[in-house]
Chains A and B, each alone.
Chain A
């Protein structure tokens, strides 16, 4: 069975998109978990701060998510554009 160059490129595209998303999701997931854990810590210690802590936690998580979003965008570009 002969594999042409086009088929190889197609296969590697899917492989690369999967690797990109899978590896890129690790960092933000750990980071957001740490942020949520510490926010919960703070809320348990000072329940009156809950609203402000929740807001700051969401902003922090959104910024942490950036790298994950970058890998998502790269994966989408690999699958649908490249």
Chain B
């Protein structure tokens, strides 16, 4: 088991000089999580009345309280209009990362969190990076947004660029390192020290608790980066 830790089921495609590799397990689990979230959204949305004046059903009250909680907790510093704009993005990021982390506690052989693949976390971090620039340019104007790189002094431009780069890098590596570190620790303890009850507890700790904290941190940092860009 331990010697299989770094090995993966990979599909290679050769397109001329370009070689593309697909990690099949990660892709399947990620698609499964996406499908589950889409199904959950459809299920929650299905019974809602079209008329906004209708009396609240239990499902509608649940949705409203969850959305208001997310708006105050994840997007606290934003103006109301922008918070409404960003809420779907940040909440989707949070739920996607949360269920990608939680999926590893399912008792299915070979299932792994998609977030322990650097490609997944890096694409999410690049998405946040791109959107931060988009919202910055949209809210402040392109010139003002680009000029913010010359603040507080023009000769600090390289510092600002490196800071931008390192921020995105650490955004991706934080999630990746936490999830992969937990998975490796659980596997090593299960194989080398205590194969019975301890790995289950470790898996629950790293899967559920650390997974939830890291999903919250990922979403909060995404909202903070966009907030820095639009200020």
Q: Which residues of A come within 8 Å of B, CB atoms?
A: 52, 55, 58-59, 62-63, 65-66, 69-70, 72-73, 76, 80-81
Question: Are A59 and B173 closer than 8 Å at their CB atoms?
Answer: no
A66 cross-chain contacts in B, Cβ below 8 A: 170, 173-174
Query: Chain B residues in contact with chain A, CB under 8 A?
Result: 5-6, 73, 76, 170, 173-174, 176-178, 180-181, 184, 213-214, 216-217, 220-221, 224
Are A58 and B217 closer than 8 Å at their CB atoms?
Answer: yes
Residue of chain A at shortest CB distance from B166:
A66
Looking at A52, A58, A62, A63, which has the most chain B CB atoms within 10 Å of its CB? A62
Smallest Cβ-Cβ distance to B178: which chain A residue: A69
Assembled-state Cα–Cα distance A65/B170 (Å): 10
Q: Are B5 and A80 in contact (CB under 8 A)?
A: yes
Contacts of A76 in B (CB 8 A): 177, 180-181, 184
Contact partners of B73 in chain A: CB under 8 A: 55
Residues of A within 8 A of B213 (CB): 58
Residues A62 and B224 in contact in the complex (CB < 8 Å), given A55-B73, A72-B181, A81-B6: no
Instruction: Tell me the number of A-to-B contacts counted with CB atoms below 8 Å.
Output: 44
Interface of B is mostly: helix
A69 engages B220 (CB within 8 Å) = no
Would you list the 9 A-B pairs with minimal beta carbon distance, nearest first? A69-B177, A62-B217, A80-B6, A66-B170, A72-B177, A73-B177, A72-B181, A69-B174, A59-B220
Q: Is the CB of B184 within 8 A of A69?
A: no
23 pairs, A vs B, C-beta closer than 8 Å: A52-B76, A58-B213, A58-B216, A58-B220, A59-B220, A59-B221, A59-B224, A62-B174, A62-B220, A62-B221, A63-B221, A65-B174, A66-B173, A66-B174, A69-B170, A69-B177, A70-B173, A72-B181, A73-B177, A76-B177, A76-B184, A80-B5, A81-B6
